[in-house]
Structure 1
Amino acid sequence: MPGQVELSRIALYRAMVEQALDALLVMEGGVFIDCNPSAEKMFGFSREQLLSSSPVHLSAATQFDGQDSLVAANRYIELTLAGQPQRFEWASRRADGNLFTSEVALNLLEDHGRRCIIAAVRDISERKQAELTARKKNEKLRVLLENFPGGVSLIDENLRFVAWNEELLRMLDLPAALFEGRQPLVSEIFEANIKRGEYGEFSSASDEDKLAKLMAIIQSDKPYSYERIRSDGSIIEVRGVPVDGGGGVVTTCLDVTAKRRIEIEFHKQSLFLKAVLEHMPQGLSVFDEQLKLYLWNQGFLDVLDYHPDAIYEGVPFEDLLRIMATRGEYGEGDIEELINSRLSLARQFQAHQFERVRPNAHTHLVQGRPIHENGKLQGFVTTYTDITELKKVQTALSKANALLEQNIAERTTELRHTQDDLMRSEKLAALGSLVAGVAHELNTPIGNSLLTASTLQAKTQEFAQKISDGNIRRSDLTAYLQAAQHASELIEHGLNNAADLVASFKQVAVDQASSKRRRFQLNKVCHDVIATMMAKIRQAGLQISVDIPVHIELDSFPGPLDQVICNLIDNAILHAFEGKSDGQIWISATMLGQDRVELRFDDNGVGIPAENLGRVFDPFFTTKLGQGGTGLGMNIVYNIVTSLLGGDIRIESEEGAGTSFIMQIPLVATVNDTDPDTDPDTDHAD
């Protein structure tokens, strides 16, 4: 055909191979037997070098999945020779040792019994890098979307959602079904929300009008912002920004319910604060860190007599000082010096409080305090209070208090004398009771001794008569001697008991009649006191036991301690066992360290009501007024233990479970001997 050049198929094949951008290599028997220029350019080897190499020479040592390249290459070659074309990504290596990512396609070529493999290699490093970059951007975008503090979405030019975050669905409670596996249209979301009663801000419009208004907003080519009030009362702020070039719109949704409530509350509090400031009886001023007036109230003008024209926001503190100094508020002296001295103090921003008497005879209380925020000085707030009337009242009260204190002192002295007389009477009565008890106790041994002596006298007269008559017999003499011996033993035993009781009474009476200090054994003092009160204890039907180690010795005042034990026993007899027939009292002592002893007085009585526990030691407090109780016994106990003995006493009691008086007393008293004539608490004078 004229003008045409007929090309052979081989020439055409060669031209196509030579012009191909991909590297083409022909492999037979595991080595390359042909290649195109693109292969030389891609790998950086000459044709001769390529034709003398194998696939492993053009590969990284290991592939992306960690496989050995030789093993992986042989597997792909075997599959290709088996008639299965292969396409895979491969870690290739250039002549300079640099690695790159390639896409390899292997196909089997059979011609006249020859089996060759054609390998087409494409450098996809840039594409992979672009994909990686895009993936990272997508990941960043996804992270941004999911961590955005609200709902966010991207709507394309076709008004279809192409990206969104979970917060958008949660915040707007959007139907999840509309977003599953698809990209919904904006109109679909609007229609779904309209059907369930959303968009209350368009409540007067029909569903069609609502949809039209919403679509008009989102199709605008200008940024928009509006607030949605959802059916649950939450407030959503919706903002939209068109993408440059008409590529859609980015919308953000923030729940501003709390913010709006705070704004409303702040506005309300501002109104309240303004009302409070205006109705404060005190003047108030706030100066900033540069000592310029920032805030004040009407009281500030009224209390300090400022003219309204002189007060405005930003007026320097120095100007206000000059007004005060000029009209003589700070006394006589150079005005500038008076101003500068007060200005220098104000610049220190130190809290202060002082009273100032003004020329008009009014007294002002000035209180100031610096304002700090985040550790930084923000200003100074000061209040000015007219306390003129208060000072007058304080003066009157001071005079009244002085007169009242004088009257109280006089009445207290009278009451002390009366109380001392009552306490003396109480103690004398206790001593009288002690004497009566001892007399009762002495009656038994002395009476027995008198009866025995009378019997012995009668026996003696009878024996003497027999001697006088001459009728005496040996048996009479023996009987008389036996009777005399037995009578003597009885008389001696009775008189010894009486003597011991008298000795105990004498010791107790001597101790109670004075407050002389001496060394004594705690065990013996307690037993002596109990011995003198045993008649009263038996009469009350009580059992009393003492558990005090004999080695506990005190250098103190046994007389007042006797009084404490007597009063506690009397108190228990009078109050503790009403309605009980099995009353018991335990007196025990244990050492507390080296210098104190704990003396306990426990009973199994009816206990003390909780409301009375705090009043037991009060003078004149008794629940048996007119029934033998004076209300002074326990007060005497408290005074003796806490003052003269130098210890302390407490009560533990529960109704129905008995009472415990627990005293902690030093082994060595810390006070000197007390004159009984001058100490009403220990006076037992006859």
Structure 2
Amino acid sequence: MQLDFIEYISRDSSQGFTQTPYFSKAIKSLSDLLSASFIIVTKVQVDRSNYEYHLNSHVNLSQGSVITQAHSLLKFEEVPETYPDIIKNNVEVTAYPHNLKKDLFPNNPEITLPLDAKEKLFAIPFSIDEKLVGTIIYQANKSANFEQNYPAAYQCLNNVFVREAQEKQSQLKIHTYQTVLDLMPQRVFWKNRKSIYQGCNRAFSDDASLSTPLNIDGLTDNELFPLHADRYRESDTDTMMTSEHIIGLEEPQTQKSGNTIWLRKSKRPIINQLNMVVGIVGTYDDITQLKSAQQELHDAKVKLEDRVKERTLELTAANSKLESVITQLQSTQNQLIEKEKMAALGALVAGISHEINTPLGIAVTGASHLEYMSDALKEAINSGNLSKSKFMESFSQIGENSNLILRNLERARELIRNFKMIAVDQSNDKKRAIKLKEYLNDVITTMTPKTKNNNVEVLLSGDKELSILTYPGSLSQIITNLIDNSIEHAFSHSSEGKIEIDFIHTKSSISISYRDNGEGINDDILPRIFDPFFTSKRGKGGSGLGLSIVYNLVTQKLNGKISCKKHSIKGTEFLISIPI
């Protein structure tokens, strides 16, 4: 009987032993060996993570040879009373009939155990590494001492229990791993050395149009993704040949539906304990939306670049046109500046002409009187009526008239000399050395007709010995325009005015202060006074170029700086700094 049992229980070992058609015969043989009226065969799976026992029990009633299967789940603290003794001693023990049916068959009320008070229950444990993997509970008159009396049968049954427990544990691990992989949105797959798929997760099987990841086993890329199979196989080979991890490989994937998506793959070689490459494992993400966004970004970039080129051409054309307009404006401005300078020079000529008329008129009058006295003296001599006293009186008058004529001619000569120098400097400005105070005084002198007519006093102070190398014509134009500006704007409503011009010499520059005590400049127009064509007297003869010319001459011709500030009490001050 022992050999019959071993033969039956060992058949179809690839299946679970309780699932073979020989199981009922094996249990019948075992009942005969144990002289048992009924047997309960229980496979035990310990879930230590959840502190549970999973029990799969089969009942054989010897009278009718009926085998009934039942499943139950017990918490560690709920195990049958017999189990602690089995687990502790790992030997056959007497079982407790109390609650046996409720513990092993809680969901099977139809199962009836033929418990006999004249017989006892015995429990045989089967374990590996002190972990219970199965039990056999049987009812008999006495213990069969199964392990001692039938060691071959015991060992065979123990091996069957252990093998199935290990297989269950492995299947549980594989199922757990597969569940974890299936929950990942990232696609995961693995292949053998011949690039034949061995497994994948749910996301990959969906891409491959497979109903379940189990269906991937044994397939190749030629069957799943024929359009890109060669490309995939090439990267597989590279990974296995180099044993290097490939990261960020971007590849297309055309699915059976005809839809093409883009993947970002990583592939890593699978290396066994002998350091041999036995396959690859790969993962990838669907980056189709990213690729689409990148393409849209690229298209937008190209479109933007085209637009930029187009706008650049438009701007280049506009800039060219603007440069032409600016050149024309500069030419017009230069013409207006020259016109303004000539107008100022004309006004200077008119003023000088008027000023020269006075000493020349006096000289002419003196000369006429001298001629009259000469004729009178000649007549007196010819008539013999010339007395000594008369001669001395005529001689004295001749001397006074000659002195008067000489002084007025000297005055006219000085005016003409100053005018000539200033006029030449303004019309043909060349850099030369000047005594600053003397030159500024000459400029002020040429402005005398205008300042005198407007009752404006001009005061000049500074080192009279200071000599500088500069453009005197520009300096003359600056002072002339400032005086004109003060007369035109600062003193337009005043009967008299005062202008003070001071200069000091620093280490590397000349600082000139020009102040008037006129009306001052309104705060709202102060920032604009140097703008070309800006004037507060539009339509009243103002050109708006006077101070603009001053600004350009100071900053461009003389490489200096100019600023203007309004005095808190009265008047305006211009501060000019000229490097030397």
User: Could you state the TM-score of these two structures normalised by the residue count of structure 1?
Assistant: 0.42
Bigger Rg over Cα: 2
